[in-house]
Amino acid sequence: MNIKTKDTILSLTITAVQSFITIFFIEVLYRGGFGAAFEWTKEYTRPFTYNFFLLFLLLASLHIFKRKLYIVLSFILTLPLLFLGLASNVKQGIRGVPVLPTDLSLAAEAKSMAEFFSGTLLFWTIVVLVSLILFIIILVYKVPNQIGLNWIKISSSFVILVMFIVIFRIESTSDTSYLKRKLMIIYQMTDQKHTYQQDGVIGGFVQNLKWLKMEKPKGYSDTAIQNIISDTEEPAYTSDSEKPNIIMIMNEAFWDPTIMDNVIFNKDPVPYFHQLENEQSTGTLNVSVFGGSTVNTEFEALTGLSTQFLPSGSIAYLNFVKKPLPTLPSILREQGYDTTAIHSWHHWFYDRSGVYEDLGFDRFISSEYMEKPLAFGPFFHDSSVTDEILKKLKSDNNDKPNFIFAVTTQNHGPYATDQKFSFANIETHLKGDAAFTDEAENMLEVYSDNLTEIDKELERLINEVNEMNQKTIIVMFGDHLPLLGNDYQVYQEANFYRDDKSYEEYLKMYSTPLLIWDNFSGKKENLNIGSTMLTPIILDRAGINGNYLTNYLLTKYQNGEFSKIPREDFLAEENIDNETLNEIKMIQYDILFGKMYGIAKPIEVSKNYRLGYADPKVTGISTSKHDGEKVLVIKGKNFTYHSYVYINGEQADKVSGDGTKIIIPYSKVKKGAEIIVKVKDQNGKILSSSNKIVYK
């Protein structure tokens, strides 16, 4: 055996050891310890081999490069995989689901997720990362590079690279490949935690790559869509000159904890909501997410499209809203409505500022454009959203009816485990001899105290709307159940969640309260529907015709065929037959990915879409006193929470402000100085600017 052959065999042997160690440490990070990783390696030898084989092929193909470059490139490829294991551990602890390929599009939200990483975890992550980088630098410096070319190594690496590309393509698209069958790789789309636990992090991740591309439903064509439309009843409504205002509120993590039979509350956290249950249409809304991914519920509620037929773990707003769509706001805008989205958080979160334009809104009032929202921890009190809704209803000076979609943030987790609010008034305990842990009890009480504030804001809104004497529909629902501790802590201690995989438990963990209130119909319905049914049911309540999707869903609902589209493994529980299922998938594909055969004319976005109501306007500057100190007062209108004063291009410190003035510290502003007010977001991006005023 010559030297080049020995060198090639040695290099591949070292790569095999490197791959083995890397896989093991990925699983250590994911499973939270050496013991759990060792048990998986021992019990699931074949899935471990599957993970090892894929990584070995990838790293071995890098031997086409010289030794030093191989070390650097293999480190660059290994580091993200180690982080994938760690991130999957954290995400699974929070939301019950590991990191999926579609999560890679959430980079813009990464900073907001940082709160879930403890300081200790973050510290040690940085320490390990720095240590690894130093180790690689030393290794590259110390290890001698190759002299000349080893054609045996290069040619074998090229063959291995081709093998990797072919095998990777098969493994990322097929559920029944030869390797999967022989190495006992089992994919469960509806239980990604189980998939990763059995198949390993790399194995689970690779299997979900196929969902990054949507396949065309069998039989999809213009004729097929037209046949569905012709078989669908189109509702007929009597014309009414007064179209109702429609206010739709998706309240963060809104849920009724009193449905937990084993928990006793000293008082009702949502007394007004419970009162409305006896007077108005209420019930439950089956949603597709638990504890997070708010915008998937939002997407379903505003479009009638189901995320159950999209890739597991995907975020519809980030992955699939890439063009103007037929939605509730676009339908209503075509019917003469003024459409407004309100959200007490950053405009860029989940790319809402761009998505809302494609959904058909005229404007988006994000936290940057609220005049003076009331801070509540890192978020904002629900009263800020109520104020914005009422402001829009009261100050509107046109004759158009309003559609307002509002999203709140006050009730966003995590919930404190050892502190209470100043307004705390809820106490809880378990029935009988059982007892909550101190941590779980505090979380539940903090969450319930939040609900008392939310309930008051709902009452304030309805009372003020009643005084306006305008036909109005108010819809309120939760986006998902709250995250009350890792691994369903509060739910488990209350014996509410048992992980029995039943349909009944699925409905409990994926259903939020729903209210449809109005001041004109007199309807009182018991609603137990899915979030995809909200758009057709709201249009029906308002007496407004929708599109072929809403007509289809409404027909199926009114005929008693189905009321929700549950998770795929529970579709049989809703008795949705294969023909109906294929029709739904075909309509959804037509709208999101296809040629929109069912849409009579192109969907147009609002020509006047913008963030906020108007740009800020500066009218003057004067001096004044504030807390005994001399200050400058910039006067004008349309000033917001994120409005800042710039003097000759330099941002001035801000003392305070409201909609008509901003107070900054006094400075000797020279004659001729240019003063401008700009709305700036958290990332420093300028969203809008006022006129310039020259100081005289």
Domain ranges of the chain: 3-212, 242-610, 615-694
- pLDDT beyond 60 at 353: yes
Q: What is the pLDDT of residues 119-134, one digit of tens each?
A: 555 665 676 667 767 7
Average pLDDT over residues 65-82: 80
Contact between residue 294 and residue 481 where contact means Cβ atoms under 8 Å apart: no
Confidence of residue 472 (pLDDT cuts 50, 70, 90): very high
- pLDDT beyond 60 at 117: no
Confidence of residue 553 (pLDDT cuts 50, 70, 90): very high
Average pLDDT over residues 38-64: 89
Confidence of residue 111 (pLDDT cuts 50, 70, 90): very low
- pLDDT beyond 90 at 74: no
pLDDT value of position 501: 84
Average pLDDT over residues 47-62: 90
Give every CB contact of residue 51 below 8 A, 6+ residues apart in sequence.
23, 26, 199, 200, 201, 202, 203
Q: What is the pLDDT of residues 368-416, one digit of tens each?
A: 999 888 888 889 999 999 999 999 998 866 689 999 999 999 999 889 9
Average pLDDT over residues 562-575: 88
Lowest-pLDDT range of 9-18, 49-58, 85-94, 217-226 = 85-94
Q: What is the pLDDT of residues 652-674, one digit of tens each?
A: 888 888 889 998 888 777 788 88
**% of the chain residues with pLDDT over 70:** 91
Name, of 69-83, 300-314, 443-457, 611-625, the range with top average pLDDT. Answer: 443-457
Q: Evaluate whether 242-610 and 615-694 have a shared fold.
A: no
- pLDDT beyond 50 at 364: yes
Average pLDDT over residues 420-433: 90
Average pLDDT over residues 183-194: 75
Average pLDDT over residues 158-163: 88
pLDDT value of position 625: 83
Of the CATH numbers 3.40.50.620, 3.40.720.10, 3.90.1200.10, 3.30.70.20, which one belongs to the domain with range 242-610?
Answer: 3.40.720.10
Between residues 362 and 665, which one has the greater pLDDT?
A: 362
- Separation of first and last alpha carbons in the chain: 90
Name, of 51-60, 114-123, 280-289, the range with top average pLDDT. Answer: 280-289
Exposure letters 467-502 (e unless 16+ CB within 10 A, then b): eeeebbbbbbbbbbbbbbbeebbbbebbebbeeeee
Angle value at C-alpha 57, between 53 and 63, nearest 5 degrees: 145
Contact between residue 58 and residue 70 where contact means Cβ atoms under 8 Å apart: no
pLDDT value of position 110: 47
* Mean pLDDT estimate for the chain: 87
- pLDDT beyond 90 at 340: yes
* HEC secondary structure over 414-444: CCCCCCCCCCCCCCEEECCCCCCCHHHHHHH
Q: Distance between CA 597 and CA 583 in Å, rounded?
A: 14
> Which two structure tokens, joined as six digits, stand for 439?
């941590």
pLDDT value of position 140: 61
* Strand-strand pairing, 526-530 and 686-689: unpaired
pLDDT value of position 396: 64
Confidence of residue 459 (pLDDT cuts 50, 70, 90): very high
Name, of 41-45, 65-69, 328-332, the range with top average pLDDT. Answer: 328-332
CATH class of 615-694: mainly beta
Lowest-pLDDT range of 84-88, 525-529, 563-567 = 84-88
